[in-house]
Chain A
C-alpha cells in the first residue's frame, strides 16, 4: 500500500507538500515565537530588551528577575491560594458533573426529561452578573474562598460530555443485571460506573483544574482581601495594572530603575506562572483531545 502511495506522487503533489510544509512551519513559528520571546526576555537585561536587542536569543543574561520574584511574597501567597482553590474545585466539580451526566443518561427514571430541561435551560439563559452577585452576597460568601469555588462549580456543557461518555460505555444490560442482584442505583454508580469511567474522570478533572487555575473574574468580583487572592489576580495587578508592591522598589532610586524592575518582573512572572502548566502539558494534552472528541458526539 505504502509503495502504491509513493508511486502516485506527481510533481503537483510534491509542490503541494512543500507549500504545506512551509505553511505549517510558519504556523508553528507564529505560535512559538511570542512564547520564546517572553522566555528569553525573562533571562535578559531589561534595558537590552527595551532597546530591541533581545529578539532571538537572550542578551546580558541575568537571573535577577527570578530572584526578585522569589522574594515577592504576594506571588507565593497567590500560588498557594490557587493550588488550594483548584484542588477543591476540581474534586467538587468533577463529582457534581459526573452525577449529573449519569442522571442524564437514565432516561428510564421518571422526571428525567424535566430535569434535563431544567439543567439545559441555564445554558441559554442566565440571571446575569448582578442577580448572581446578590445571591452570593446573601449567602455570606463574599470574600470567602467558597465564592470562587461554588458559584461556577457546574458546567452543563461538561455534564453533556459526561453523558456522551456514559451513553457509549455503560451498557444498559450491566445495570439491569445488577438490578436483579438487588444493587441500588447509588451503589451501582459508585462501584460500577465510577470505576469504568477513569477516562472521562481524567478529562473532566483536567478541564476543571485548568479552568479554575486560569480564572480571575469571580475572584475579582468576590474576593476583597489580598491575602485570599489567587495567582491570576496577583498577576493581573502586576502585569496589567502595573501595581508592583512598593517593597520591591526599596533599593530602586530612580523612576527608570523602577520601570526596569517592573519590566523584568513581567517577563519572569509570565514564565513562572506558566511553569506548572508547561510541565504537565505533555501528559495532559491528550486527555483534552479526548475530551473534545467525546464532546463532539451528539447525544
Chain B
C-alpha cells in the first residue's frame, strides 16, 4: 500500500522536474558557485599537504627499491622486500625493538598516573595562592626545549659535579654515571619525562575536575564523607571517561616514540639501551646515506603504528562509541 502511494507521488515529480541524480548535480553546482572561494582560502594548505605530506608517501616506494639519486625514485631498481629482510636479520634488530618497547611501556606505565594523582590532590586544595603557585610552576618544565632539557640532565646527573650524585654520596652511596649506563637509561628517560610533562598533562584533568557539580560534594558531606573519600568516590569516577580517552591515545602511540630526546641522550656508553627505531632510521638514513634501507625501517614502524591506532580505536568503538577517535 505504502509503496504504491510513494510511486504515485514520485512519477509526476520525475516527469516534470529533475531526476534525483540531476538534482544532486545541480545542488553541487550551486554549492560550488557559492563556496568556491573556500577552496581558494585553503589552496596554500592543500598544496602544502600534497607536497610535504603526500609526496613523501609516494616516495615511500624507495623502501622497495635500491634507491640511487641518479636514477630517481621510479628509475631505481625494484628489490621487493629485500630491505625489510635486511632489517629483520640485522643483529641490532631485536635490541632496537626491545629498546623502543621498553621506553614506550615504561613511559606509559610510570608516566600515566602521576598527572592524574597530581590533579586530584591539587583539586583538593582550596583556591588560594599556594594552589595557583604549584600549578603554574608545575608546567614550567614543559616549555624547556629538548636540547636544554637533556643538557640539564647531563649537568644535574654528572658523576663528578652533579648534585644528585653529591646527594647519593652524602648518604654514603656511590656516585653513578647515570648518562652512561644502559640499565639506568630507561629510568632517566622516563623519570625526566615525568618531571617535564606531569604538570602540563595534568591541566586537562584539573580543568575537567572544576566542572564536578558542587552538589555531589555537599551530598557526600551530609553523609559524612571525608575529603579523601570524596576524592575516591566522586572525583575519580568523574575522571574515568577522560582517563580512558587519554589512555587510548597513549596506547595507540606506543611505537611512535620520538627521536628528539632519545637522540640527544645517547652516549657511546648507553647506546645498547638507547638505540630505538626512530634514531636508527636517522642514522642509517642521513648519516650512512642508506636511503632505501632507512625508508624501509621507518615504513615498518609507521605501518605498525597505523595498525595499533586502528586496532585501539576499533576496540574502543566496540566498548563505548563516544570515547573512540572516529
Contact = CB atoms under 8 A, between A and B. Distances in A.
A267 B155 contact: yes
Interface string B129-173: 010011011111101111110111011100011010010010000
Interface residues of B, number: 92
B25 to A, nearest CB: 11
B112 interface: no
A108 interface: yes
Contacts of B13: none
Contacts, number: 257
B274 interface: no
Contact of B60 (A127, A133, A236): A127
Contacts of A130: 59, 62, 281, 285-286, 291, 294-295, 298
A178 interface: no
A174 interface: no
- Per DSSP, chain A at the interface is helix
Interface string B89-116: 0000000000000000000000000000
A126 B53 contact: yes
Nearest to B136: A285
Contacts of A128: 56, 60, 281, 295, 298-299, 301-302
A100 B45 contact: yes
B147 A131 contact: no
Nearest to B303: A125
Contacts of A8: 221
B207 A129 contact: no
Most buried by A among B160, B200, B301: B160
B314 interface: no
A12 B57 contact: no
Contacts of B278: 129
A126 to B, nearest CB: 6
Contact of B151 (A24, A110, A126, A270): A270
B147 A16 contact: no
B282 interface: yes
A131 B155 contact: no
Contacts of A189: 41
Interface stretch (B3-11, B28-36, B180-188): B28-36
B9 to A, nearest CB: 28
Interface in B291-312: 291, 294-295, 298-299, 301-302, 305-306, 309-310
Interface in A113-133: 115, 118-120, 122, 124-133
Contacts of B227: 12-13, 16-17
Interface in A124-164: 124-135, 139, 150-151, 153-154
A109 B38 contact: yes
B134 A27 contact: yes
B195 to A, nearest CB: 7
A236 B55 CA distance: 31
Contact of A28 (B32, B133, B226): B133
Nearest to A11: B226
A221 interface: yes
A154 B48 CA distance: 8
B147 A129 contact: no
Interface residues of A, number: 92
A34 B152 contact: yes
B295 to A, nearest CB: 4
Given A151-B52, A154-B48, A185-B38, A24 B57 contact: no
A12 B230 CA distance: 12
B147 A239 contact: yes
Nearest to A123: B309
Interface in B31-86: 31-32, 34-35, 37-42, 44-46, 48-49, 51-60, 62, 73
A185 B35 contact: yes
A89 interface: no
Contact of A115 (B42, B122, B155, B309): B42
B264 to A, nearest CB: 6
Given A129-B298, A154-B48, A12 B226 contact: yes
B125 A20 contact: yes
Interface of A: 5, 8, 10, 12-13, 16-17, 20-21, 23-24, 27-28, 30-35, 37-38, 41, 49-52, 55, 96, 99-100, 102-103, 106, 108-111, 115, 118-120, 122, 124-135, 139, 150-151, 153-154, 179, 184-186, 189, 210, 213-217, 221, 232, 235-236, 239-240, 263, 266-267, 269-270, 273-274, 277, 281-282, 285, 288-289, 292-293, 296
Interface of B: 28, 31-32, 34-35, 37-42, 44-46, 48-49, 51-60, 62, 73, 118, 121-122, 124-125, 130, 133-134, 136-141, 143-148, 150-152, 154-156, 160-161, 163, 166, 169, 195, 199-200, 203-204, 207-208, 221, 226-228, 242, 259-260, 263-264, 278, 281-282, 285-286, 291, 294-295, 298-299, 301-302, 305-306, 309-310, 326
Among all A-B residue pairs, the 7 with the closest Cβ atoms: A127-B56, A131-B59, A214-B145, A128-B298, A131-B56, A239-B151, A52-B166
28 contacts: A10-B226, A13-B227, A34-B152, A38-B152, A38-B156, A41-B155, A52-B161, A110-B31, A120-B326, A124-B309, A125-B306, A126-B53, A129-B278, A129-B294, A129-B295, A130-B294, A131-B58, A132-B56, A134-B62, A151-B52, A186-B37, A214-B143, A214-B145, A221-B286, A232-B147, A235-B145, A270-B151, A289-B207
